[in-house]
Structure 1
Amino acid sequence: HCKKRTSSREPARSTLGEGEMTVSEGMSAGPVDARTVLARQDRIPSWSLPWWHLVVIGIGYFFTFFDIADIGYGMPAIAAQFKLTGSEATFVALAVGLIGYVVGSIVIGSISDRVGRYKILLVTIGITALGSFLCATATDMWTLSLWRFLTGVGVGADLNLVSTYVGELAPARQRGRISNLTFLVGILGQAVTPFVALALVPAFPFGWRLLFVVGGLIALIGLIARFQLPESPRWLALHGKPEEADAVVTRMEEIARSRGMTLPEPEPEDVSMARDAFPMRSLIARPYLGRLVLLVLMWFFWYIGNYGFLGDATTLLSGHGFAIADSILFLGVGAIGYPVGAIVMAVLADKLDRRLLILGSTCVWLIGMLLLGSLAGDTIVTIGSFLASFALGLYLQVAYTYTAELFPTRARASGFSLSDGIGHSGGVVGALLLPVVVTAGGFFLGFAGIGITGLIAGLIALFGPKTSGRRLESVSK
């Protein structure tokens, strides 16, 4: 059966453009075998959808990182207008959004394992756009908290799905690189946010509101563009829709041939096509439960420092003698490290073991935190900020890619959502604890502490399995 289908799927090289597809070429009249469809997809050596799809996917990341950063830059002005105490400001800035993030990641992310990636990708970015626009209308701490929660729901679910979706479309030998190129589009959101904030927040009493409006417009653009994306063929094949998966893969093959790629014979593997009405139930079986625990711990320790730095650094610096504009400027110049880190990781992601890359990123993070915590002059603070941002650019997408790789297609979004969602409780800990530690033990102790928790995350990753260059179905066996 497989040999017969293989021969029927090698038409002469097509002259179609990237956006065109014929259903007749590469599709047999008989029943479609899901395992063969997956083998055909996995033999394609490079990204084989229109390149602008990566930009469309990356816009979701762009909003995510813009949103994570904008509340931190806007909070000093918000706190002054709403007369918030330090603990109230931290609660609104980070805790509420993170709670929404966890809820959205776990609930909506797991739903995508049942109803598909594409539909939920539209829902999640729609929620984020709505939440951001509503944040701009907040009149007090309670309304802002409500809308931050709603935005967090969308952001948490969207971040989960983007990593899952890209991983299921990208070829095995370029999965890390493709994921990081998409991430590069997104991480620019964190790089440009401080400069947008610098132009708006100090200049206008309502500047923080404009910051949220900008975020909402970005998400709205992403929503409109996403209607052009295909469903994940892996999800379609697993959920009894091999003909639809066949159509997507046929389009990928046509684009690959139009770019001059020679496709080898597909090699179907005897992979499980089982699915569960309750995807999370798959995660309590071996080896997934152990992987889940490992990833939860890895993300928990990482997010302690991540959210402490992103949410509290501006406020803490301004509280130690720096003007708000100067604090934003130091972090803004340092934020150039985000895209630089993502570019470096795009080069390295498929050349080295992902576990070693994660560890190396956390070592850079520790150095950045030590320099930032030293407060040894404007130059040292800026260098520390750059290294911290550089480490974030290095770490985040390779760790997202690694997380999604460790779970089977039937529960990939659920596994990612639980790992990242529960792990985000570390962000709540870091955001609430860092100001307390800085007050009680000093600036250096606080930032050295979150540097060490980041390094612990890198050490934990070493205990996971190797994934680089392997087919997703092989990793998930």
Structure 2
Amino acid sequence: MENNVENIIARANRIPVWSLPYSFLAIIGVGYFFTFYDISDIGLAMPAIDAQFHLGSSTSLFLALSVGLIGYGIGSYLIGSTADVIGRYKSMIITMALTALGSFGDAISLNVPELTIFRFITGLGLGADLNLVSTYISEFAPPGVRGKITVYTFLVGILGQAVTPFIGLELVPVYYDGWRWLFGIGAIIAFIALILRFELPESPRWLALKKKDIKKAEKILEMMERTAERKIGKLPEPDVTRVDTESGKFPTLYLFKRPYSTRLSLLVIVWFFWYIGNYAFLGDSASLLSSAGFSISSSILYLAIGAIGYPVGAIIMIATADKFERKYVIFIDTVVWFIGLTLFALKMDITLFIGSFLASMALGMYLQVAYTFTAENYPTRARSSGFALTDGLGHIGGAFGAIFLPVLVASYSFSFGFEFIAVTGLIAGILVLIGGTRATGKPLENISA
């Protein structure tokens, strides 16, 4: 059996091109589109919800946002670790079903408690989906173009973050129930993504290592090989090498053995610091600008124009993700983030536009490359669990940032608060630069060995 497992992995590693239909990337991208749409829509809806629910300066609305992020963390681990047991395919169906249900509930919520419940449900699905998509793509993408392929999918998704402010601008300030329509559109997108995902295959690496269905893994690989041969001709012979096929433990237990325990500790801290600023910027900026004296329309407009930076950042990564060592790329991304938020903190018209653009571009540059890097650091038998635990614990930083940024702004100043999240993002990049592994262009088994 082990020889069969090693042969399947060797056959997967010898394929140098994307060997599934490109429509599968689009299918995954639609789900990603919703993920990033939802990350943005709550922040855009918050000023209108605040006014309608008469919250004033209460922190209830920020708690509603943070509960969603807590859901991210719980969902990421529970469903993500389950994916190492029942498979990537089934788990990705579950995540999208939860997000569709949660987003529909967001749209019909009548008060903050209801919104909090449905934000939690949405978060359960979204947190796990971020984990699973990166794991899934990493296990299909060839080593030499793994970064580029994952960014292609991410580019479709990041458009959700780019267009959401413009949709919000047309709905939230204009219509009384505009924020409900904003969530409702997200629910429709999530439902479409759910239906499309039934077309996706299971990961042959997971099938082989879990010894679930070797014949099914071989059938998927044969399809991939035929696709690759039509593109480039005859494939090289598989280079069968020894692979650790142990799979009897609960997947999370592998993460507490070296080298994974060290990687887990580092990456949890990295994502904690990154998510502090990520979710504070996305979730609180519109409300904090509004509280600082800008109208709801102008507050959203600053972010909408800046959101053009999301796809720009992703396009930059398509050209660079596999040409340079990933940990260096990640560090540079955080430097751009620091510059953008430093400008945004100045709170002048021109610096708000430029700062929003650079911060958004940094997000577009950082996220998928860092997701890919995280997935690469763990073995196939516990890759989803490793990413899930990392991302789940990291999201605590997001919940912290969403609550703490308004407190900093109220206690000190707008500039102090946004400079704080500029620094936390830069810290994440410095940690990766100092302690991160080299991953670009290597087979997954070589990175995670």
TM, length-normalised to structure 2: 0.98
1:170-217 CA distance string (max 9 Å, x none): 001111000011100000000000011111111111111111110011
> What letter is aligned with 1:468?
T
Change (3 A) 1:367 1:246: same
DSSP 3-state at the match of 1:203: coil
Q: Which of residues 331, 336, 360 in structure 1 aligns to 2:308?
A: 336
Change (3 A) 1:31 1:299: closer
CA distance in structure 1 between the aligned counterparts of 2:397 and 2:322, rounded to whole angstroms:
28
Aligned sequence identity (%): 54
Q: Does 1:273 align with 2:220?
A: no
Post-superposition shift, 1:85?
Answer: 3.8
CA distance in structure 2 between the aligned counterparts of 1:369 and 1:389, rounded to whole angstroms:
10
Query: What stretches of structure 2 of length at least 5 have no aligned partner?
Result: none
CA distance in structure 2 between the aligned counterparts of 1:84 and 1:231, rounded to whole angstroms:
46
1:368-383 matches, cutoff 5 A:
368-376=340-348, 378-383=349-354
Q: Which of residues 113, 117, 139 in structure 2 aligns to 1:168?
A: 139
Q: Which of residues 283, 286, 295 in structure 2 aligns to 1:314?
A: 286
- Of 33-42 and 360-369, more deviation after overlay is shown by 33-42
Post-superposition shift, 1:258?
Answer: 1.6
1:441-460 matches, cutoff 5 A:
441-460=412-431
Change (3 A) 1:433 1:164: same
Post-superposition shift, 1:424?
Answer: 0.7
Q: Which of residues 383, 391, 398 in structure 1 aligns to 2:369?
A: 398
Q: Which of residues 187, 193, 196 in structure 2 aligns to 1:216?
A: 187
8 Å CA contact retained: 1:194, 1:331: yes
Query: What stretches of structure 1 of length at least 5 have no aligned partner?
Result: 1-29
- Of 403-412 and 254-263, more deviation after overlay is shown by 254-263
1:428-463 CA distance string (max 9 Å, x none): 111111111111221111111110110000011121
Post-superposition shift, 1:320?
Answer: 1.2
Q: Which of residues 386, 390, 415 in structure 2 aligns to 1:419?
A: 390
1:420-435 matches, cutoff 5 A:
420-435=391-406
> What letter is aligned with 2:260?
Y
User: What's the counterpart of residue 138 of structure 1?
Assistant: 109
8 Å CA contact retained: 2:143, 2:444: yes
User: What's the counterpart of residue 226 of structure 2?
Assistant: 254
TM, length-normalised to structure 1: 0.92
8 Å CA contact retained: 2:2, 2:245: no
> What letter is aligned with 1:58?
G
Q: Does 1:264 align with 2:263?
A: no
Q: Does 1:98 align with 2:48?
A: no
Q: Which of residues 378, 401, 412 in structure 2 aligns to 1:407?
A: 378
DSSP 3-state at the match of 2:227: helix
DSSP 3-state at the match of 1:267: coil
1:150-165 matches, cutoff 5 A:
150-165=121-136
> What letter is aligned with 2:244?
S
Post-superposition shift, 1:31?
Answer: 11
CA distance in structure 1 between the aligned counterparts of 2:223 and 2:359, rounded to whole angstroms:
41
User: What's the counterpart of residue 107 of structure 1?
Assistant: 78
Q: Does 1:245 align with 2:230?
A: no
CA distance in structure 2 between the aligned counterparts of 1:363 and 1:262, rounded to whole angstroms:
43
Q: Where do 4+ consecutive residues of structure 1 move more than 4 Å?
A: none
User: What's the counterpart of residue 35 of structure 1?
Assistant: 6
CA distance in structure 1 between the aligned counterparts of 2:56 and 2:20, rounded to whole angstroms:
50
1:37-56 matches, cutoff 5 A:
37-56=8-27
CA distance in structure 2 between the aligned counterparts of 1:261 and 1:58, rounded to whole angstroms:
28
8 Å CA contact retained: 1:32, 1:246: no
CA distance in structure 2 between the aligned counterparts of 1:335 and 1:261, rounded to whole angstroms:
41
> What letter is aligned with 1:269?
T
User: What's the counterpart of residue 204 of structure 2?
Assistant: 233
CA distance in structure 2 between the aligned counterparts of 1:249 and 1:69, rounded to whole angstroms:
38
DSSP 3-state at the match of 2:439: coil
> What letter is aligned with 1:374?
L
Q: Which of residues 282, 285, 298 in structure 1 aligns to 2:270?
A: 298
8 Å CA contact retained: 1:58, 1:182: yes
Root mean square deviation, CA, Å: 1.2
Change (3 A) 1:357 1:31: closer
1:258-313 CA distance string (max 9 Å, x none): 22343111101101111134110111101100000000000000011111100110
Structure with greater Cα Rg: 1
User: What's the counterpart of residue 21 of structure 1?
Assistant: none
User: What's the counterpart of residue 61 of structure 2?
Assistant: 89
Post-superposition shift, 1:465?
Answer: 1.1
8 Å CA contact retained: 1:75, 1:89: yes
1:26-69 CA distance string (max 9 Å, x none): xxxx9981211111111111101101110111111111111110
Q: Does 1:289 align with 2:269?
A: no
CA distance in structure 2 between the aligned counterparts of 1:156 and 1:437, rounded to whole angstroms:
26
CA distance in structure 2 between the aligned counterparts of 1:260 and 1:159, rounded to whole angstroms:
32
8 Å CA contact retained: 1:101, 1:157: yes
DSSP 3-state at the match of 1:60: helix
8 Å CA contact retained: 1:32, 1:243: no
CA distance in structure 2 between the aligned counterparts of 1:239 and 1:365, rounded to whole angstroms:
40
1:121-169 CA distance string (max 9 Å, x none): 1111011001101111111111111011000000011111000000000
User: What's the counterpart of residue 176 of structure 2?
Assistant: 205
Q: Which of residues 74, 80, 83 in structure 1 aligns to 2:51?
A: 80
> What letter is aligned with 1:67?
D
Change (3 A) 1:31 1:142: closer
User: What's the counterpart of residue 441 of structure 2?
Assistant: 469
> What letter is aligned with 1:443?
F
Matched length: 446
